[in-house]
């Protein structure tokens, strides 16, 4: 995985986005993920792609005993260690694919918008399974395959003569593999796989799928930020909750 979050231009753009009141993490993704959290009382949590550590602190507030936050970005971990430090949280610079090296197991593995950067998800799913305690949970959000599908990363909306968005056009859904697109900077790499590829990889690894969500903004969000009505036309995010069978 490339350390795109350590690119200065990318990092600055991402931080500006997250500081805005109107951002999808705060308005759509986080509420949906938090609603699916299992009971964390006295549990151990592994946060993959922990970023600034905000979620790690939240898990402690939910009763977790300890949290390990993994991220490959030095810049994000610096923020985490400065703004969201806690004796019960360990922040570690590490690729998600190397978590077996921790030689630990956890009650919950959590990830918010990071798994679409994983190249070999089938192998990764087996690693996730091995790092979970018996009856442990996996909960993650990633970009929806509708969004990752198009080779050039440029799906688009069909519009009426008046300019109203009517439908969303994407392509190459059935062609898995690397996608290179622009997000703040050119050359951002992610990996596309079908929903069936994602779920089957988890099932083969031994997981029991509990819940699939394609979260939509609540009514008040659309009323306050009308642009979020686009989410009713096409899904942007996919959430999966599973447990160790």
pTM comes to 0.91
**Gyration radius of the chain's alpha carbons:** 18
φ, ψ (nearest 5 deg) of residue 220: -65, -30
What digits encode the pLDDT tens for the residues 182-214? 655 556 789 999 999 999 999 999 999 999 999
- Judge whether residue 132 has pLDDT over 80: yes
Q: Residue 84: which of 52, 111, 46 has the closest Cα?
A: 52
Distance CA 66, CA 166 (A): 47
pLDDT given for residue 245 in this prediction: 83
Mean of the pLDDT values across residues 145-156? 88
- Judge whether residue 44 has pLDDT over 90: yes
- Reported as a pLDDT band with limits 50, 70 and 90, residue 68 is very high
Distance CA 220, CA 10 (A): 30
Mean of the pLDDT values across residues 101-108? 97
Domain count, the chain: 1
- What separation, in Å, do the N-terminal and C-terminal C-alpha atoms of the chain show? 29
Question: Which segment, 26-30, 35-39, 179-183, 222-226, is predicted with the most confidence on average?
Answer: 35-39
For residue 10, the enclosing domain spans 4-244
What share of the chain in percent tops pLDDT 90? 80
pLDDT given for residue 192 in this prediction: 96
- Judge whether residue 4 has pLDDT over 90: no
3-state DSSP call for residue 184?
A: coil
Mean of the pLDDT values across residues 47-55? 95
Indicate the average pLDDT of the chain.
91
pLDDT given for residue 160 in this prediction: 94
- Judge whether residue 5 has pLDDT over 80: no
Output the domain CATH number for residue 227.
3.40.50.150
């Amino acid at each position: 995985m490339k350390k795109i979050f350590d690119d200065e231009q990318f990092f600055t753009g991402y931080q500006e986005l997250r500081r805005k009141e109107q951002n999808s993490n705060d308005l759509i993704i986080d509420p949906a993920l938090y609603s699916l959290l299992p009971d964390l009382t006295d549990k151990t949590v592994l946060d993959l792609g922990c970023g600034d550590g905000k979620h790690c602190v939240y898990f402690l507030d939910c009763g977790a005993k300890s949290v390990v936050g993994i991220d490959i970005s030095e810049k994000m971990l610096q923020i985490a260690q400065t703004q969201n430090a806690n004796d019960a949280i360990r922040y570690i610079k590490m690729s998600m694919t190397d978590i077996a090296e921790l030689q630990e197991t956890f009650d919950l593995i959590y990830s918010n918008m990071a798994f679409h950067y994983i190249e070999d998800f089938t192998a990764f799913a087996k690693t996730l399974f091995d790092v979970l305690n018996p009856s442990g949970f996996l909960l993650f959000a990633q970009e929806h395959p509708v969004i990752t599908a198009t080779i050039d990363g440029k799906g688009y909306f069909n519009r009426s003569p008046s300019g109203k968005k009517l439908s969303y056009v994407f392509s190459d859904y059935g062609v898995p593999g690397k996608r290179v697109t622009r997000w703040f900077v050119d050359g951002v790499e992610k990996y596309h796989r079908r929903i069936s590829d994602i779920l089957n990889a988890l099932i083969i690894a031994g997981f029991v799928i509990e819940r699939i969500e394609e979260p939509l903004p609540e009514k008040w969000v659309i009323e306050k930020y009308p642009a979020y009505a686009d989410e009713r036309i096409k899904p942007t995010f996919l959430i999966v909750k599973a447990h160790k069978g």
